[in-house]
């Protein structure tokens, strides 16, 4: 495979792309900080962002290990969810029997509320890291499954006809054509699932853990310490964002050939 | 004038498609003889079954009645691998492969040694005038360039027959004329049997040895017009009175007593 | 003309104020958890109209734990709520403005329960065993106190963080976990296994448990309402002493899925925990400063809380009926 073409981003372009988001965030934080005093909101209901920052700085050594734990659970959950979903999707697309048996169960599993299932999982899997990875999988698998199925069916019809005219085998059509055509869809599924996996891991930690951001939140809740809760929530959001951006970065690398990827010509 | 060896015999073919309210007759009792190494165009109104005919010859479709005979008098309806090549109206290339890799695709599928044929692919790319873009991705190519790439790909495994379904239909007139000249050049060099579907009378007259005129659905072959113009044909040929006369003949058959355009 | 108008205005104002005095005020009340035997008193009194009589239109909402009760009461969502004293103390360290108006339990109901089949009979038998703890729960500091008082180091036990529910004990994931003593018979029935009870008060630990709390602003603005509420509750508990089945029926009427028999058993175990010499002398729910101070000091010592809380700010006996 040849190397993908380089994309040069000028400094000005970077500012244009990220600038507005950063500006808005700063405005929101300032407004938040000021309105606590302005509207006399009691600090136990809503703390100032400065208070939250101070809280984080005072305990970052304690809270970061929790974040790594949750990151690991979410990442593992996402990877396993991806692997399972992709395998199932391939089965669904190629064997009608699999489609008829697996798809209804996939939908049914999605519908069961995870908060009800999580305690059951601790009974079956104990209190280690396993049930958290399972909850992460359960919460995040569905978008990948659905998108991969669609993606595998989205290969260009002409191309498939061309392959058939060459008497290509089903396997050849699958490996040379379908797989790569499905990638944009698969990545779209992973984008959605990346944030869901974080939620799943945290829900798993709520019902029985001694480490992780979910556990940290539970402690903060029991101490009625709102600033700690906000630190926890902010870190959860950052975690979700991190996984999401990771998926986007991988997507940019693997899908450089897709129309949606920017080229220097199109950037005016 | 190509030597008149019979190559593909289409005898009394009819094709029916099932549909919601009764079967549709796409082709009705079509009979054609196609000669070796000739450039045969098929022209006709929309829906007359041109593409169906092409698919029959390509082996993707089976006739409902009648038979097609192939070289060696085989009535095996599916031509063996490696004999037939398609070029469609939409130039479809795999977007994640470079131009060269795309052209190599049929060789991979057919299991032919790529190291030998690598050179062949390169030669073809040069033939269609795209050697600078060997390492480019389809994203960077224009419509006309992509179509030329598709033609190179179609020829890479040395098929005997080339089936082209309105390959230049999506291009503007200027590019189209350029591509016609290109195609003629390529065909003269490689001498494949070409079945060429088009809507453009000028294109058909320019490129073909013979033109088959089809009627509206259910399609049958109205007539076959022989084009006896010297090769290689050029822009000047298009302006010649003989060319115009042929065009008038074809046009007359197309809009003939059948009435509906 | 002007005089007539003014007179009419005054008359209307008088009529309106009489109207507001005569009609009952809405009082939002939150239970600490799902309805159980200790809650029969509220439902009975409501059914009999005893709250209505004193001008209280009581809205009872089942709860999801003491920390939520503390927060929601402070935020003004509820006028009164049930919450554990430990949660209240923790809340006050975070400047959450709530205080206890009455103490329901004079004897702590907290216990550790073990399966009878495990052979664990005393606290010391727990050494080397697995204990299910809920760091976020109100009971956790009491558990720490229990071990300390009895000379057991926390490292001598294996602490396993669990969530809500008792199932870990019954599926063998832990050897002991905590709960309130009156709930034990229900678990025995539900899981079909017999239990041994290690009651905290038997081992020298008697923390203030569930109290009726209110926010400081409600205490300031509606003192009469709180007094009337508490006096009605005290009165009704007296009645329930001799009319236990009736009380249970009142609860079951609202929640028909609950089991009468189990509730009666639970009630019998629970009721004596509300009485001691202090209440006999001063009235139901009366609180004593020393006990608050002991609890606060212990929390501070064990670093359950990080800064000292003024005991007197945590409670008020001003609303107790004698």
A162 interfacial to chain B (CB closer than 8 Å): yes
Cβ–Cβ gap C168/A126 under 8 Å = no
Confidence check: pLDDT of B3 > 70:
no
A183/A152 Cα distance (integer angstroms): 8
The pLDDT value given to residue C1:
65
Regarding predicted confidence, which is higher, A193 or C66?
A: A193
Q: Does A176 touch chain B (CB under 8 A)?
A: yes
What percentage of chain B reaches a pLDDT higher than 70?
91
Under a CB-based contact definition with an 8 Å cutoff, are residues A201 and A70 in contact? yes
Closest C-chain CA to A224: C91
Chains in contact with chain C (at least 3 beta-carbon pairs closer than 8 A): A
> With the C-alpha atoms ordered A22, A24, A25, A30, is the resulting torsion angle positive or negative?
positive
User: Please, what is the angle between helix A49-94 and helix A130-152, to 10°?
Assistant: 50
Domain-located, residue A61 = yes
| Residue A36 to residue C303: CA distance in whole angstroms | 30
In chain B, what residues touch A187 (CB-CB under 8 Å)?
none
> Does residue C2 surpass a pLDDT of 80?
no
Same-domain status, C216 and C310: yes
- Give the end of a domain, one of C203, C229, C246: C203
Rounded CA gap, A145 and A81, in Å?
9
- In angstroms, rounded to a whole number, what is the distance separating the alpha carbons of residues C209 and C85? 5
**Would you state the pLDDT for residue C264?**
94
A162–B86 CB contact, under 8 Å: yes
The residue from C172, C203, C234 where one domain ends is C203
Q: Is A262's Cβ below 8 Å from some Cβ in B?
A: no
List the single residue in B with minimal CA-CA distance to A173: B109
Domain count, chain B: 1
User: Which helix (H) or strand (E) segment is B16 a member of?
Assistant: strand B6-17
Please give, rounded to a whole number of angstroms, the shortest distance from the CA of A43 to a CA of chain C.
8
Residue A164 domain flag: yes
CA distance B258 to chain A (A): 33
Structure-token pair, residue B227: 């084009």
8 Å CB contact between B66 and B56? no
- A119 → closest Cβ in C97, C136, C163: C163
| List of residues 6+ apart from A40 with CB closer than 8 A | none
A152 domain residue, yes or no = yes
Collect all residues with Cβ–Cβ distance below 8 Å to B27 and sequence separation of at least 6.
B13, B14, B15, B49, B52, B53, B56, B63, B218, B219, B220
- Whether the pLDDT of residue C19 is over 60: the answer is no
Of the residues C187, C203, C219, the one at which a domain ends: C203
- What phi and psi, each to the nearest 5 degrees, are found at residue C303? 60, 30
Give the chain A residue whose CA is nearest to the CA of B92.
Answer: A159
Nearest to A9 by CA among A264, A266, A216: A264
What mean pLDDT comes out for the span A120-129? 84
β-partners of residue C158 are C130
Please compute the mean of the pLDDT values over residues B66-82 and round it to a whole number: 65
Q: How many domains does chain A have?
A: 1
The model's confidence at residue C125, banded by pLDDT at 50, 70 and 90, is very high
**Shortest CA gap A217–chain C (Å):** 10
How near does any CA of chain C get to the CA of A143, in Å? 29
Nearest residue, CB atoms, A167 vs list B81, B137, B139: B81
Is there a contact between C70 and C91 (Cβ–Cβ < 8 Å)?
Answer: yes
pLDDT of B73 reads 58
Across the interface, which of C96, C137, C164 has its CB nearest the CB of A44? C96
Q: How much of chain B exceeds pLDDT 90, in percent?
A: 31
ipTM: 0.77
Q: How far is A41 from chain C (nearest CA, A)?
A: 10
The pLDDT of residue C18 is 55
The span from the CA of C268 to the CA of A249, in Å, is 65
Instruction: State yes or no: pLDDT of A265 exceeds 50.
Output: no
Pair (C167, C218) in one structural domain? no
Asked which of A140-149, A200-209, C242-251 is least confident by mean pLDDT, the reply is A200-209
* Radius of gyration for chain A, computed over Cα atoms and rounded to the nearest angstrom: 23
Q: Which two tokens stand for residue C230?
A: 């508490």
B221 pLDDT band (50/70/90 cuts)?
A: confident
Rounded mean pLDDT, A152-172: 87
pLDDT score of A241: 94
Flag whether residue A108 sits within 8 Å of chain B, measured between CB atoms: no
- Judged by CB atoms closer than 8 Å, whether chains meet at A44 and C94 is answered as yes
* Neighboring chain C residues of A209 at a CB cutoff of 8 Å: 161
Residue C1 lies in a domain: no
- In terms of domains, do C168 and C282 share one? no
Residue A224 pLDDT > 90: no
Angle B42-B44-B49 from CA coordinates, rounded to 5°: 80
- Tell me the nearest-neighbour CA distance from A171 into chain C, angstroms: 49
The boundaries of the domain holding residue A169 are 49-254
Q: Are B255 and B261 in contact (CB under 8 A)?
A: yes
- The reply to whether residue A166 touches residue B106, judged by beta carbons under 8 angstroms, is yes
Token pair, residue A145, equals: 């499954």
Give all strands of the β-sheet with B24-35 in edge-to-edge order.
Answer: B24-35, B6-17, B65-69
Q: Is residue B104 part of a domain?
A: no
What percent helix, strand, coil does chain C show, rounded to 5? 50, 15, 30
Work out the percent of chain C whose per-residue pLDDT is above 90: 70
Interface test with A, best of C94, C130, C137 (most A CBs within 10 A): C94
**Do residue C56 and residue C187 come from a single domain?**
no
Instruction: Quote the number of domains for chain C.
Output: 2
What average pLDDT does the segment A154-180 reach? 88
Please judge whether A180 and B94 are an interchain contact, meaning their C-beta atoms are less than 8 angstroms apart: yes
A179 contact B CB<8A: no
Q: What 3-state class would DSSP assign to A25?
A: helix
Least CB-CB distance to A224: which of C90, C97, C161? C90
- Chain A interface disruption, residue of C89, C92, C98, C161, most A CBs within 10 A: C161
Contact C145, C294 (CB under 8 A): no
Q: With contacts defined as CB-CB under 8 Å, which chain C residues touch A223?
A: 90, 94
At B82 the pLDDT is 65
Confidence of residue B79 (pLDDT cuts 50, 70, 90): low
Average pLDDT of every residue of chain A: 87
B95 → chain A, closest CA residue:
A257
Residue A139 lies in a domain: yes
Within-domain flag for B151: no
Question: HEC string of A188-257?
Answer: HHHHHHHHHHHHHHHHHHHCCCCCCHHHHHHHHHHCCCHHHHHHHHHHHHHHHHHHHHHHHHHHHHHCCC
Contact A81, A144 (CB under 8 A): yes
For the record, the structure tokens of C187 come out as 């678990």
Contact at CB, A159 and B94, closer than 8 angstroms: yes
Q: List helix spans (H) across B27-136.
A: 50-58, 99-110, 114-127
pTM > 0.90: no
Tens of pLDDT along A36-92? Answer: 888 888 888 889 999 999 999 999 999 999 999 999 999 999 999 999 999 999 999
CB B4 within 8 A of CB B30: no
Residue A167 with chain B: CB contacts under 8 Å = 81, 109
Position B149 in a domain:
no
C168 vs A contacts (CB less than 8 Å): 122-123
Window 118-137 of A, Cβ < 8 Å to B: none
Q: What is the CATH number of the domain that holds C152?
A: 3.40.190.10
Cβ neighbourhood burial of A12 (10 Å; 0-12, 13-18, 19+): exposed
Of C70, C74, C173, the CB nearest to A126: C173
Nearest neighbour of B95 by CB, restricted to A2, A168, A257: A257
Please write the tens of the pLDDT for every residue from C214-264. Answer: 999 999 999 999 999 999 999 999 999 999 999 999 999 999 999 899 899
A–C: how many Cβ contacts below 8 A? Answer: 61
Element (H, E) at B212: strand B210-214
Asked if the structure places residue A79 within a domain, the reply is: yes
- How confident is the model over B105-125, as pLDDT tens digits? 988 888 876 677 788 899 889
| Structural domain containing residue C55 | 24-106+208-314
Question: Does the distance separating the beta carbons of C163 and A122 come in below 8 Å?
Answer: yes
Q: Who has greater pLDDT, C24 or B78? A: C24
- Residue carrying the six token digits 């049958």: B220
For the domain that residue B43 is a member of, what is the CATH number? 3.40.50.300
Q: Residue C190: which H helix or E strand, with range?
A: helix C184-191
pLDDT at residue A170 above 80? Answer: yes
> Chain C residue closest to A207 (CA)?
C163
CB contact under 8 A, C136 and A207: no
Q: Is the distance from CB of C65 to CB of C33 less than 8 angstroms?
A: yes
Supply angle C-alpha B138, B142, B147, rounded to 5.
75
Upstream peptide bond of A126 is cis (omega within 30 degrees of 0): no
CB B100 within 8 A of CB B93: no
Continuous segment of H or E residues that includes residue C57: strand C56-61
Confidence of residue B36 (pLDDT cuts 50, 70, 90): confident
Q: Give the confidence band of B261 by pLDDT, cuts at 50, 70, 90.
A: very low
Nearest Cα residue in chain A from C139: A222
Tell me if chain B has a CB within 8 Å of the CB of A59: no
Residue from the list C74, C91, C165 with its beta carbon closest to the beta carbon of A119: C165
Do residues C114 and C226 share a domain?
no
Distance from CA of A218 to the nearest CA of B (A): 48
In this structure, of A172-181, B83-92, C169-178, the range with the lowest mean pLDDT score is B83-92
Question: For residue B259, what are its two tokens?
Answer: 């009435």
pLDDT digits (tens, 9 = 90+) for B142-171: 888 999 999 999 989 888 889 999 998 888
Asked whether A and C share 3 or more beta-carbon pairs under 8 angstroms, the answer is yes
Structure tokens at B27: 């082709």
pLDDT tens per residue across span C172-188: 889 999 999 999 998 99
Shortest distance, CA A197 to any CA of chain B (angstroms): 30
pLDDT at residue number C199: 94
Q: How far is C107 from chain A (nearest CA, A)?
A: 23
Does residue C166 belong to any structural domain of this protein? yes
pLDDT of res. A167: 79
All residues of chain C having their beta carbon less than 8 Å from the beta carbon of residue A135 are: none
Chain A environment of C90 (Cβ under 8 Å): 222-224
At B8, which helix (H) or strand (E)?
strand B6-17
The CA distance from A55 to the nearest CA of chain C, in Å, is: 13
Chain B positions in Cβ-Cβ contact with residue A158 (cut-off 8 Å): 88, 90, 92
pLDDT confidence tier of residue B59, bands split at 50, 70 and 90: confident
**What's the mean per-residue pLDDT of chain B?**
84
C322 in a domain, yes or no?
A: no
Output the pLDDT for position A151: 95
pLDDT band at B259; cut points 50, 70, 90? very low
User: CATH code at A134?
Assistant: 1.10.3720.10
- DSSP code of residue A177: I
- Mean pLDDT, residues B204-220 taken together: 88
Cβ atoms of C176 and C147 within 8 Å: the answer is: no
Q: What is the total residue count of chain B?
A: 261
Angle subtended by helix axes A130-152 and A114-125, to nearest 10: 120
Average pLDDT, chain C: 90
If asked whether residues C222 and C99 sit together in one domain, one would say yes
| Residue in C91, C137, C167 closest to A224 by CB | C91
- Chains adjacent to A (≥3 CB pairs closer than 8 angstroms): B, C
With the CA atoms of A66, A71, A77 and A81 taken in that order, what torsion angle do they form, in degrees rounded to the nearest 10? Answer: 160
Whether residue A29 lies inside any domain: the answer is no
Tokens 């004897």 map to which residue?
C107
For residue B128, pLDDT over 90 is answered with no
Q: Which domain holds residue B234?
A: 6-83+159-254
Contact B8, B176 (CB under 8 A): no
Chains C and B touch (3+ CB pairs under 8 A): no
3-state secondary structure of C259: coil
3-class DSSP state of C120: coil
The rounded percent of chain C whose pLDDT value lies above 70 is: 96
Residue in C183, C234, C216 with CA at minimum distance from that of residue C45: C234
> Which chain A residue has its CA at the smallest distance from B97's CA?
A1
d(CA A193, CA A134): 14
A174-181 mean pLDDT: 92
């Amino acid at each position: 495979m040849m190397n993908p073409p380089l994309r040069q981003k000028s400094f000005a372009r970077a500012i244009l792309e990220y600038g507005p988001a950063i500006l808005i965030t700063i405005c929101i934080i300032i407004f938040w900080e000021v309105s606590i005093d302005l509207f006399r909101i009691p600090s136990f209901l809503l703390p100032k962002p400065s208070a939250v920052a101070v809280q984080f700085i005072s305990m970052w050594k304690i809270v970061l290990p929790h974040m790594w734990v949750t990151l690991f659970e979410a990442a593992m959950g996402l990877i396993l969810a991806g692997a399972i979903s992709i395998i199932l999707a391939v089965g669904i697309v190629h064997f009608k029997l699999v489609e008829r048996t697996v798809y209804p169960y996939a939908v049914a599993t999605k519908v069961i509320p995870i908060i009800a299932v999580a305690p059951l999982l601790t009974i079956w899997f104990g209190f280690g890291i396993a049930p958290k990875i399972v909850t992460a999988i359960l919460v995040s698998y569905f978008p990948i499954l659905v998108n991969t199925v669609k993606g595998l069916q989205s290969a260009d019809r002409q191309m498939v006809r061309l392959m058939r005219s060459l008497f290509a085998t089903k396997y050849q059509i699958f490996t040379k054509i379908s797989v790569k055509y499905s990638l944009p869809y698969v990545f779209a599924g992973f984008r959605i699932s990346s944030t869901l996996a974080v939620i799943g891991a945290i829900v798993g930690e709520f019902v029985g853990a001694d480490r992780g951001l979910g556990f940290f939140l539970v402690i903060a809740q029991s101490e009625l310490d709102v600033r700690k809760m906000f630190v926890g929530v902010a870190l959860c959001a950052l975690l979700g964002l991190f996984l999401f951006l990771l998926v986007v970065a991988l997507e940019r690398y693997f899908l450089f050939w897709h129309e949606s990827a920017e080229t220097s010509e199109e950037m005016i | 004038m190509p030597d008149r060896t019979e190559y593909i015999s289409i005898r009394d073919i009819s094709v029916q498609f099932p549909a919601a309210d009764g079967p549709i007759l796409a082709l009705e009792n079509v009979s054609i003889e196609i000669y070796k190494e000739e450039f045969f165009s098929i022209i006709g109104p929309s829906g007359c079954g041109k593409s169906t005919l092409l698919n029959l010859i390509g082996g993707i479709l089976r006739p409902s009645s009648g038979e097609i005979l192939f070289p060696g008098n085989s009535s095996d309806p599916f031509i063996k691998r490696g004999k037939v090549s398609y070029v469609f109206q939409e130039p479809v290339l795999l977007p994640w492969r470079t131009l060269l890799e795309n052209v190599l695709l049929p060789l991979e599928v057919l299991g032919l040694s790529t190291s030998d044929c690598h050179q062949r692919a390169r030669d073809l790319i040069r033939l269609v005038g795209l050697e600078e873009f060997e390492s480019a991705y389809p994203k960077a190519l224009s419509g006309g360039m992509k179509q030329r790439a598709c033609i190179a790909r179609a020829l890479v495994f040395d098929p005997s027959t080339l089936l082209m379904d309105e390959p230049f239909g999506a291009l503007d007139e200027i590019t189209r004329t350029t591509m016609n000249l290109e195609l003629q050049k390529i065909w003269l060099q490689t001498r494949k049997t070409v079945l060429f579907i088009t809507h453009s009378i000028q294109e058909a007259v320019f490129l073909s040895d013979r033109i088959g005129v089809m009627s509206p659905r259910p399609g049958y072959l109205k007539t076959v017009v022989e084009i006896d113009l010297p090769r290689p044909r050029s822009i000047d040929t298009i302006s010649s009175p003989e060319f115009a006369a042929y065009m008038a003949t074809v046009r007359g058959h197309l809009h003939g007593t059948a009435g509906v355009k | 003309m002007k005089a007539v108008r003014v007179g009419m205005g005054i008359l209307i104002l008088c009529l309106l104020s009489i109207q507001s005095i005569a009609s009952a005020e809405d009082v939002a009340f939150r239970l600490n958890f799902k309805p159980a035997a200790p809650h029969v008193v509220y439902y009975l009194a409501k059914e009999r109209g005893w709250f209505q009589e004193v001008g209280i239109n009581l809205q009872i909402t089942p709860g999801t734990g003491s920390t939520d009760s503390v927060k929601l009461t402070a935020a003004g969502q509820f006028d009164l709520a049930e919450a554990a004293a430990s949660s209240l103390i923790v809340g006050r360290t975070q400047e959450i403005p709530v205080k206890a108006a009455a103490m329901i339990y004079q004897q702590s109901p907290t216990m550790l329960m073990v399966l009878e089949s495990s052979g664990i009979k005393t606290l010391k038998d727990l050494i080397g065993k697995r204990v299910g703890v809920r760091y976020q729960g109100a009971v956790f500091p009491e558990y720490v106190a229990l071990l300390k008082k009895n000379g057991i180091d926390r490292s001598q036990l294996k602490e396993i963080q669990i969530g809500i529910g008792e199932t870990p004990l019954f599926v063998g994931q832990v050897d002991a976990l905590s709960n309130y003593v009156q709930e034990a018979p229900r678990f025995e029935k539900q899981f079909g296994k017999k239990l041994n009870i290690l009651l905290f008060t038997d081992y020298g630990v008697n923390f203030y448990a569930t109290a009726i709390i209110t926010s400081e602003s409600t205490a300031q603005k509606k003192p009469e309402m709180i007094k009337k509420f508490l006096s009605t509750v005290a009165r009704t508990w007296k009645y329930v002493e001799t009319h236990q089945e009736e009380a249970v029926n009142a609860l079951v009427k609202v929640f028909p899925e609950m089991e009468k028999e189990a509730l009666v058993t639970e009630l019998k175990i629970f009721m004596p925990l509300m009485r001691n010499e202090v209440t006999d002398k001063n009235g139901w729910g009366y609180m004593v400063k020393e006990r608050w101070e002991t609890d606060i000091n212990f929390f501070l010592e064990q670093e359950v809380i990080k800064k000292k809380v003024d005991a007197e700010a945590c409670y008020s006996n001003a609303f107790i009926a004698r």
